[in-house]
Structure 1
């Protein structure tokens, strides 16, 4: 990631690099509102709407609904030695992808360039679009988010509410005081809570498996020290995360890997910085292969994975998931051995709190 900061071929990127290494920006102390590992909501100060990850797993839009997993973003903070201020990446707590600016034009009726959710394992040229620099507005209670590739994150739909997407629009970084208020964001911290959210129950009316669209699920199961116990893939129809957990438990049993009660399985999404977050919402509408990391409730692996950043997860993300081709292994019977499940132990993990309408993602305190 450090190399991404030093690679600045375009004037827009050079402007952002100058900001990142500017003592003037350091004096504004913009990152006080962003803490590594915490979850936040981003609210447009002009419209009062929240930045949401769309259900298709790709788009980003603004909605009034506050108590939603789709409005929660995990903060990843990194500061290279040469920089006066850190930069950040924002990871969707719902679908496990990063907020990223692209080079594509924004949809009709929107300003600037398109903003999307992007996978952590995109090529480096795309990874630069995931890097953001937060700078305080003149009032000191809001921020604007400058993308490494140039431009600032902005809301749309001031006069046409149906144009409710977010985008990145070019600005003069030397004239911060005159930025559009559509680029002003209020950062709302989501506090931790002690209760793990329940998975949403599947809808009563579902399509039969033979006609329901399917996707490939690629999983890696870890033990306490990060060693791979099992890996494999299978096809899954529908979007229900509740059904996916049950199907995973059945698949492990049918293939002679382990007999585990479905409620004891925790399916997690890997992040770029070596952490994992549990998958507790229904799957995105897109049918792209889903990569998950599996741990068992009450085991040392469960404790270890959520009490610290696990660098081995990052290795897994860039090796196993990259070389493990779903198209080649789907339908194959994996050669694996049955494993003993360790005894349950006392756990102390904390989760994020919100209204009772929708439980948000959860994460341990650090």
Structure 2
């Protein structure tokens, strides 16, 4: 569907509620908010063909993970706060289908509103939490806004002083790309990182990699072996889950080879 061009970034706006689909700050769930100019409201489009069918995958521009259908084995309940609504997942398996979505025109709508139907479960749609479970309502109708790319990468956010790391300690796996933007999955190293500051994370990685000017490195989140890299531009999510970081020299040939796109969320 032309509303979801591969490699672009989009917002999904509920015409019924006047809110946008956002990645939760916990890096696991999704929510809605009226805030428009936020990286958490930007979703990278990843088009994928499988078995003769075309699918739309949506990757959070804030945290890198993919919008996925929560699949719960009976009789286990869904995670608290998620219910039957989508969550954020890594994309690791070539046969993984929980991240597959099909965009279809919203029936009875005269505009360009779409429904995002799950590629595996055609009775599940991306909707607004708290509404009726009736899938014929407008709760699952979304207007798609394409976000233009920035001509230059945005300035890295300054560190925000905090009195303590608030208990967030996670294992960071990291690797630096070569001249062609490639890296080996066997070359990852690891360390324990306290806090959420992406500014401090970059400084720490620069020290570990012996890079004197840490503003010349770009950090990317790896959302799984089959996912696309996402530039890290916000503080880490509020969780203690491990994170994989790909490091490259800003403006180098390896940076160009990865074709990173920065959405202009203020546009």
Q: Is TM > 0.5 for Structure 1 vs Structure 2?
A: yes
Equivalent-residue separation in structure 2 for 1:249 and 1:67 (angstroms) = 30
2:218 to 266, 269, 289: 266
Question: Any idea what the Cα deviations from partners look like across 1:215-264, whole Å, max 9, x if unmatched?
Answer: 111011111231459631111110010110001111223xxxxx341101
Supply the distance in 2 between the matched residues of 1:181 and 1:201 (Cα, whole angstroms).
Answer: 40
Structure index of larger Rg? 1
- Please give the secondary structure, in 2, of the residue aligned with 1:193: coil
Give the structure-1-normalised TM-score: 0.64
Q: Who is 2:163 aligned against?
A: 206
Which deviations, in whole Å up to 9, do the C-alpha atoms of 1:71-103 show, x marking residues without a partner? 0100011234733xx211111111110111113
CA distance in 1, matches of 2:14, 2:238: 26
Equivalent position SS for 1:103: coil
CA deviations over 1:276-334 (Å, ceiling 9, x no partner)? 22111100011111101110113221121227xxxxxxxxxxxxxxxxxxxxxxxxxxx
CA distance in 2, matches of 1:266, 1:69: 17
Unaligned stretches of 5+ residues in structure 1:
1-30, 160-168, 172-178, 254-258, 308-349, 357-366
Q: Counterparts of 1:88-237 in structure 2 under 5 Å?
A: 88-104=56-72, 113-121=84-92, 124=95, 127-137=96-106, 138=108, 139-150=110-121, 151-157=124-130, 171=135, 179-207=136-164, 212-225=167-180, 226-228=182-184, 231-237=188-194
Distance between the aligned counterparts of 1:120 and 1:260, measured in 2? 33
Helix, strand or coil for the counterpart of 2:127? strand
Give the Å deviation of 1:213: 3.0
- Structure 1 pair 108/120, CA: closer, same or farther in 2 (3 Å)? closer
Matched, 1:290 2:246: no
- In the alignment, the residues of structure 1 paired with residue 171 and residue 226 of structure 2 have an alpha-carbon distance, to the nearest angstrom, of 24
Alpha carbons 2:55, 2:119 under 8 Å: kept? no
**Corresponding residue of 2:205:** 248
Write out the 4+ residue segments of structure 1 that deviate beyond 3 Å after TM superposition: 104-110, 227-231, 271-275
Which is helix-richer, 1 or 2?
Answer: 1
- Equivalent-residue separation in structure 2 for 1:55 and 1:93 (angstroms): 12
Distance in 2 of aligned mates of 1:351 and 1:116: 23
1:49 paired residue number: 19
Q: Distance in 2 between matches of 1:109 and 1:245?
A: 32
Partners of 2:227 and 2:26 in 1: CA distance: 25
**Equivalent residue of 2:69, what SS?**
strand
Conserved 8 A contact 2:102-2:119: yes
Give the Cα–Cα distance (whole angstroms) in 1 for the partners of residues 66 and 156 of structure 2.
22
Q: What is the alpha-carbon distance in structure 1 between the residues aligned to residue 18 and residue 78 of structure 2?
A: 21
Distance 1:108 1:276, change over 3 A: closer
Q: List runs of 5+ in structure 2 lacking aligned partners.
A: none
Query: RMSD in angstroms over aligned alpha carbons?
Result: 2.7
